[in-house]
Amino acid sequence: MAKMKAAMAAVLVMEKEGVSQAFGVPGAAINPLYAQMRERGTMAHILARHVEGASHMAEGYTRAAAGNIGVCIGTSGPAGTDMITGLYSAQADSIAILCITGQAPRARLHKEDFQAVDIAAIAKPVTKWATTVMEPAQVPRAFQQAFHLMRSGRPGPVLIDLPFDVQMAEIEFDIDTYEPLPVYKPAASRKQIEKALEMLNAAERPLIVAGGGIINADASELLVQFAEITGIPVIPTLMGWGAIPDDHPLMAGMCGLQTSHRYGNASMLASDFVIGIGNRWANRHTGSPEVYCKGRQFIHIDIEPTQIGRVFAPDYGIVSDARAALALLVELAGEWKAAGRLRKRAGWAGECAARKSSVVFLRKTHFDTVPMKPQRVYQCMNNAFGKDTTYVSTIGLSQIAGAQFLHVYHPRHWINCGQAGPLGWTIPAALGVCAADPTRKVVALSGDYDFQFMLEELAVGAQFKLPYIHVVVNNSYLGLIRQAQRGFSMDYCVQLGFDNINTPEEDGTRSYGVDHGKVVEGLGCKALRVHRQEELAPAIAQARAWMEEFRVPVLIEVMLERVTNIAMGTEIDNVMEFEETAQVRADAPTAVGMLD
């Protein structure tokens, strides 16, 4: 046993639990913890410019690699409340992050002390656990419980609030004998998987819907094995994108109202059976259950018991970690195939693959107009960025079109805030990904409004040498909201362009408003502006050179036409295609071989 400050015990527990990186903003009430972090010197720290930014950096860090847990730190008052959006985002997408806040001394909590707020109560609805530790001796066990909860069952965020005097108090603690608590993850039984295979085997046209739980469970290889053994095509959700490579012959495309492929929706509508693994039937994926479920049966496998039947009642439900379920599915399907019990799927798989390469199901991208259309921007990005690229994005027409046109080939190479979708998320999340893996080739994608929300965090990339490319498609509009306002016959409070007195109009007709390049350069980064499609590849080459030379984020701002409506709809059978198909794109992933 050793005597130490409770704050030091917290630092030692985090070390034992594998934490080596934190993001945050020091403040008076959390300085005792920072003092112990400084004394130990084992945990790197990145100083955010906004505490919400720190929470999104922690999210990006966790999402970047299996086993990571991002940590964000600040005071309980404005810092804690600023981090609520990050906690909500993490909870919604099943992302484990630890938020640590410093609180006023215990004796002053009820006296409306400076920056004192009941942050645990505020955070409770958007965390797996939120607690204010009132006894110093409980600090190490609170942190032990936090890591246990974050990793067990459905992953998610935890907030620990530490009063100033609790951090400063001396306690007895033996870190040498400390052990993390065993992680609990439910696992499917052999009998359950046998029933699932029997139901699948009876289907004529089955699909696998692969959710983000597969990526969280680091089970993407098992998913691909299961699909290949059974010959069943895979529809990834937005959070599961990358679990099977886009160019795999059994990757049937994404389904949904917005972030979907025409061929993915068509294959879903043609199916008669769906097995969902690690997904939550999000409404942007399903539309109404009446349309989505009509004419097909469902199996739902998810780690969280309360997810089974939440959106609609499946024909069969299994509570299981995705990795455990897929391991058994692979094992039993292999046995059935060897015994000649598995139904052959070459015809159905071939039908789904044919849609992927058919001009009927591909959206037009080859536009040569100036200002550019976003579709052409994504075609250029597909041609310029390799299969090892990691894309980071959050919300808006930029993200929706990106999901429709870009390609992802590996798990954790599409880092996306799925349910919450807060504007401003992209920059700090991209920085968190870079901090997790400095060798990662990161490309962030934003509209101009998302980019403006947390623009100040680019200074973090400059200060801590976190280089990445940030593509901003700029139409000086809240594009998604403008498109939604069509239903109200208005275009109201969504225009971002204005006559910037410091920036002359570039095209003789209008000003784009904010000069993002000047702001970015003022924050210590580099910036380029592109007007034509032939300028984009040279701009990307220049951005790569600057990243190598200066080790800072580089903005590539692509100036778009003001109004481009992106395909979306109210149901998966009622998606409005504003730009009809025209040609088979050179960058479209092919689907050949492995269908037998």
Residues annotated as catalytic are 25, 51, 423, 478, 481
> What are φ and ψ of residue 241, in 5° steps?
-60, 130
Contact 45, 37 (CB under 8 A): yes
Longest Cα separation, the chain:
76
CA angle 152, 157, 158 (to 5 degrees): 90
Cβ-count burial 193-209 (b if 16+ within 10 Å, e if not): beebbebbeebebbbbb
Residue 127 DSSP symbol: S
> What are φ and ψ of residue 512, in 5° steps?
-85, 0
Q: 36 by DSSP, 3-state: which?
A: helix
Phi-psi region of 529 (alpha: psi -120 to 50; beta: other; left: phi over 0): beta
Paired sense of beta strands 469-474 and 554-559, if any? parallel
Residue 310 DSSP symbol: S
Phi-psi region of 266 (alpha: psi -120 to 50; beta: other; left: phi over 0): alpha
Residue 156 DSSP symbol: -
Contact 394, 234 (CB under 8 A): no
The per-type count for the chain, helices as H runs and strands as E runs, is 24, 21
> What are φ and ψ of residue 44, in 5° steps?
-70, 150
Paired sense of beta strands 2-5 and 170-173, if any? antiparallel
Beta-bridge partners for 100:
73, 160
Other Cβ atoms within 10 Å of 596 Cβ, number: 9
Tokens standing for residue 230: 């059974």
Residue 155 DSSP symbol: -
Nearest to 264 by CA among 207, 348, 347: 207
Tokens standing for residue 419: 């349910």
Q: How far is CA 335 from its chain centroid? A: 35
Residue 281's alpha-carbon distances to 99, 284, 287, in angstroms, are 28, 8, 9
At what angle are helices 139-151 and 6-16 packed, to 10 degrees?
Answer: 30
Q: 416 by DSSP, 3-state: which?
A: strand
